[in-house]
Amino acid sequence: MRKGLAGQRLVAMFIAGVLLLNFPLLSLFDRPVTLFGLPLLHVYLFTVWGGLIAAVGWIVERGAR
Amino acid sequence: MLPGWLIIGTSFAYLLTLFAVAYFGDRRADQGRSVIDNAWTYGLSLAVYCTAWTYFGSVGRAASGGIWFLPTYLGPTLGMALAWLVVLKMIRIARSHRITSIADFIASRYGKSHMLGGLVTVIAVVGIVPYIALQLKAISSAYALLAEDAASPLPVGESVAWWMDSTLYIALTLAAFTVLFGTRHLDTTERHEGMVAAIAFESVVKLLAFLAVGVYVTYGLYDGFGDLYARAAAHPDLASLLVFDSTGKIGYGGWFAHVLLAMLSVIFLPRQFQIAVVENVNEQHLRRATWLFPAYLLAINIFVIPIALGGLLHFGQGTVDPDTFVLTLPLAHDNAALALFVFIGGLSAATGMVIVEAIALSTMVCNDLVMPILLRSRRLGLSAQRDLTRLLLGIRRGAIVGVLLLGYLYFRLAGEAYALVSIGLISFAAVAQFAPAMLGGMYWRNGTRDGAFAGLLAGFLVWAYTLLLPSFAKSGWLDPAFLDDGLFGLAWLRPEQLFGLAGLDNISHALFWSLFANIGCYVFVSLLRVPTTAEAGQGALFVNVFRRGDSPPAGFWRGRAEVADLIPLVARFLGQRRTEEAFRTYARSRGVDGMDKLKADPDLVHFAESLLAGAIGSASARVMVSTVVQEEPLGLGEVMDILDEASQVRAYSHQLEEKSRELEAATAELRAANDKLKELDRLKDDFMSSVTHELRTPLTSIRALSEMMLDDPDIDVDDRQRFLGIIVSETVRLTRLVNQVLDLAKIEAGHAEWHNTDIDMRELVTHAIEATRQLFRDRDAEIGLELPDAVPMLRADHDRLLQVMLNLLSNAAKFVPAQGGRVDVRLTADEGRIRVDVRDNGPGIAPELEAVIFQKFRQGGDERSRPQGTGLGLPISRQIVEHFGGRLWLESIPGDGATFSFELPLPPAADGE
């Protein structure tokens, strides 16, 4: 698993996370728009964060079997 | 609002509960039924990352900067994604080297150096003490808020004399608690199962408390998220909190720096290292932690912004410290029970951090700072046989109390100068300095002790200059003027705009410069020289930890040791009972009956050293073991032995190469032989098909004529006579063919019989011409003969040579033209050989056919004019001539006849005659 697919997936998730949670992608969502009454930026950050956790969880728990 | 005794009583009740959990955990561990051998417990215990700083400070940060509280929690999420690669490697390394702290890790990696361990310890203590102060401050201000009037922010700790200050007593209580938790006994692995169980429990409590106040504010005081956001958006002062960068000062670069900082600190904070690496029971638990811990962070942060907005909406800006919103909001709405629960949650967050951090620091201080100094001072190092376990425990306990008192001192001096969140980030930036030496040590073999030392020192100094000193200045301990004017009035030395670098907030600025100096010095100094043996050895062990099995790294160790010396040495630090237990287990794993039967081999010495390393650090362990083990440098003899062995190995490999070359040659020969055999097989097939073909032609005519005569009895006598004539001649031809085939086969196989006699070639040639004279007459050809007067006698088979001559002559007769045909025969003899030429004036033979006519069943001339013959005459003749050591060849000019010649060697004996 260490050198296997799961390890590479985790690195890919890490890179994706770094890109999604930083400039310049982050700046795309910093605009005065609301989603369900919440600011777009906050919704975006928490959604990406949650998605990242879910993906990492899926990768590692899958590899555990 | 609440009576002091109630708060204090509840707090103590909570601490006692914690202690019960810890006691239960330890008991279960002793029984071998660990409660923390569980991925969920491990994941939850990692949440010790969330301190009072998270608990109170996040809201404060959100109230002033909006979304900016978040990088501190996004970083760990990213860091944990790589945990399965990085932290797993740390766990494996720590386990195989019995590493119990970051200082030990770095010291052990770079050749078990005392200097490095000491420096790391100093950095850790200096960096972490403010953080501990922060926890004390959080608890004491929360207590003050709860116990008195909630409406006004209260100065804590400053107005009263120190012996009246409740914070001091909080610090002492926590110290006592930590001593009870962490240093009840010495353990070789520095594992504290009960403490981890208590930390996991605390993590649950603080999460529940924070979620409770979050739900209360969001859904109790307001009407959900949407309502809060709508109200905030309508509020002119609060609307700016909802966009990315309300102040416009820090920018995306700062955001990135904060994420990076949090990412590094989640691995390199001493308490995180303690929980994630040292206290790890099973590597596989790390899997769940990689998502459970970030999920925990997500959960505890969902209500941060709602609480901040709720507090600001309720109190307005500038009246109440936003750090205290979680307490003041319930209090303001007369919900004292909830406030008490929230207080317990905050207490939980603070105590968890303080306990783990103090234990981690005390291990470092004891193993990497105090022990080396004690060991060096002669008095103790040599005072034999004294039991040092009590001393060790005493040092640890002293260190814990010392660290907490330092924290209190810092709190007392720094006071209210800084918001919670800033102190936390300063600590993060300090521990980030460990990253280059640690990560470099795990993935780069060439890092040297000097490089690590230079990098750490440079990073630490830059950190102190750009972050710590300014924070002192802002607290009023130093003249704040140097912030604006720079050191010695040099503007380019302004600590927060070093070398004029502006446009970054102070944390990003300090992080950049310190890591720049740190990594730069680490890499460049490391590359100045080749690593020493110790560095290279440890480097290889660390970098390749996954490639090795679990066998201890014995390596090139040569030395003499006595078991009787080793065991007492270990017992001095670990106590007699534990030592004997450990050695007995080791003996059992080696298949030895008792520990007195153990042999003091390198493995045992390594085992003893790693036992000690757990208790007093790897560098000190090396020093202690070396006092009873006479390590012998490799002598010339051994070196020669090793060289001998190496040259033997080389010789073997040479031989192997030789063998393989020979094999290759043999293979080539075999392949050639095989090819030849295949070719011969093909020739044989050709021959068989040619022979059968030649046999069939006469047989066909014989059969056809015979059948005709059989079927038709009334056939003419003349015809019958003619047919019988043909049959007879065909039969003769058939017989000749079979004879020739047999002949050829015999000669080729070497089975032919040769009757050698002395031959006069003149006689033989004349005889042959006489025998074929009728043939030439039939073709109207003339025959000329040229004979020398005398030729030496030749020893050969007369009949065979005659056969050759007859064959050549009959061939010549076949090819001469019908009119004016002429054949010349010439016999010559010179030194050692005798030669016969048979020349005709026929059409000659084309050069491309010259080789062909000597093959079996191949005849010259085109298909139509092909004369009668078997096509075996020439091959047989050639075989005969070659049998006698001569050769037979053809010279021909197309259109101008052909000359068949053969020559035979004369026997040396014949010369004399």
Domains of chain B: 4-375+387-420 (1.20.1730), 433-550 (no CATH), 555-631 (no CATH), 636-747 (1.10.287.130), 753-912 (3.30.565.10)
Taking the CA of residue A38 and the nearest CA in chain B, the distance in Å comes to: 6
pLDDT for position B863:
44
- Taking the C-alpha atoms of residue B139 and residue B349, their distance in angstroms, rounded to an integer, is 10
- Residue A40 at interface with chain B, using a CB cutoff of 8 Å: no
- Residue A47 at interface with chain B, using a CB cutoff of 8 Å: no
CA B63 to chain centre: 48
Alpha helices in B415-532 (DSSP H): 420-431, 434-443, 449-463, 469-475, 481-485, 506-526
Q: Do A10 and B225 touch (CB under 8 A)?
A: no
Structure confidence by residue, pLDDT tens digits, A46-56: 899 999 999 99
Instruction: Extract the tokens encoding B807.
Output: 């064959």
Nearest to B803 by CA among B718, B891, B889, B877: B877
Which of A23, A49, A60 minimises the CB distance to B298?
A49
Number of CB atoms found within 10 A of residue B575's CB: 20
pLDDT for position B208:
92
Q: Judge residue B714's burial from the number of C-beta atoms within 10 Å of its C-beta, 0-12 exposed, 13-18 middle, 19 or more buried.
A: exposed
CA angle, B124 as apex, B120 and B130 as ends, to 5°?
A: 160
- Residue A16 at interface with chain B, using a CB cutoff of 8 Å: no
| Beta strands at B782-786 and B822-830: parallel, antiparallel or unpaired | parallel
Which of B82, B84, B255 minimises the CB distance to A23?
B255
- Taking the C-alpha atoms of residue B231 and residue B218, their distance in angstroms, rounded to an integer, is 12
pLDDT for position B153:
38
Instruction: Extract the tokens encoding B460.
Output: 């630490």
pLDDT for position B677:
92
- Amino acid at the residue B304: V
Q: Judge residue B307's burial from the number of C-beta atoms within 10 Å of its C-beta, 0-12 exposed, 13-18 middle, 19 or more buried.
A: buried
Return the bridge partners of B796, or none.
B757
Q: Do B242 and A45 touch (CB under 8 A)?
A: no
Q: Name the DSSP letter for residue B468.
A: I
pLDDT for position B417:
59
Q: Do A7 and B80 touch (CB under 8 A)?
A: no
Which of A27, A37, A42 minimises the CB distance to B230?
A37
Listed in sequence order, the residues at least 6 apart from B608 whose beta carbon sits closer than 8 Å to its beta carbon are B566, B567, B569, B570, B625
Residues of A whose CB is below 8 A from B81? 10-11, 13-14, 17, 52, 56
CB of B826 within 8 A of CB of B839? yes
Mutation target to probe the A interface, by most A beta carbons within 10 A, among B222, B250, B252, B261 is: B252
Ramachandran sector of residue B225 (left: φ over 0; alpha: ψ -120 to 50; beta: rest):
alpha
Chain B contacts to A (CB-CB under 8 A)? 67, 70, 74, 77-78, 80-82, 84-85, 88, 225-226, 229-230, 233, 242-245, 252-253, 255-256, 259, 284, 287-288, 290-292, 294-295, 298, 302, 305, 546
* Helix (H), strand (E) at residue B784: strand B782-786
pLDDT for position B156:
44
Q: Do B84 and A14 touch (CB under 8 A)?
A: no
Q: What are phi and psi of B558, to 5 degrees?
A: -130, 130
Q: What is the 3-state secondary structure (H, E, C) of B223-282?
A: CHHHHHHHHHHHCCCCHHHHCCCCCCCCHHHHHHHHHHHHHHHHHHCHHHHHHHHHCCCC
pLDDT for position B875:
82
Residue ranges in chain B modelled with pLDDT below 50: 149-158, 382, 385, 550-556, 862-867, 910-913
Question: Which residue in the block uniquely carries the two structure tokens 């240093």?
Answer: B183
Structure confidence by residue, pLDDT tens digits, B29-78: 778 777 777 888 888 998 888 888 888 888 888 888 778 888 889 889 99
Which of A46, A54, A56 minimises the CB distance to B81?
A56
- Whether this model's pTM surpasses 0.80: no
Residues of B whose CB is below 8 A from A60? 84, 287-288, 290-291
CA angle, B409 as apex, B404 and B410 as ends, to 5°?
A: 95
Q: Name the DSSP letter for residue B350.
A: H
Q: Do A46 and B302 touch (CB under 8 A)?
A: yes
Find the helix packing angle between B83-97 and B102-109, rounded to 10°. 80
The complex scores an ipTM of: 0.92
Residues of B whose CB is below 8 A from A21? 74, 78, 259
pLDDT for position B912:
41
Structure confidence by residue, pLDDT tens digits, A13-25: 899 988 888 877 7
- Residue A50 at interface with chain B, using a CB cutoff of 8 Å: yes
Which of B255, B291, B298 minimises the CB distance to A60?
B291
pLDDT for position B158:
46
- Amino acid at the residue B562: E
Q: Torsion angle of alpha carbons B564, B567, B572, B576, nearest 10°?
A: -110
CB of B389 within 8 A of CB of B572? yes
CB of B604 within 8 A of CB of B563? yes
pLDDT for position B824:
87
Q: DSSP 3-state assignment of B788?
A: coil
Q: Do A41 and B67 touch (CB under 8 A)?
A: yes
Find the helix packing angle between A40-64 and B71-81, rounded to 10°. 20
Q: DSSP 3-state assignment of B890?
A: strand
Residues of A whose CB is below 8 A from B80? 56
Listed in sequence order, the residues at least 6 apart from B872 whose beta carbon sits closer than 8 Å to its beta carbon are B737, B740, B741, B744, B856, B857
- Residue A38 at interface with chain B, using a CB cutoff of 8 Å: yes
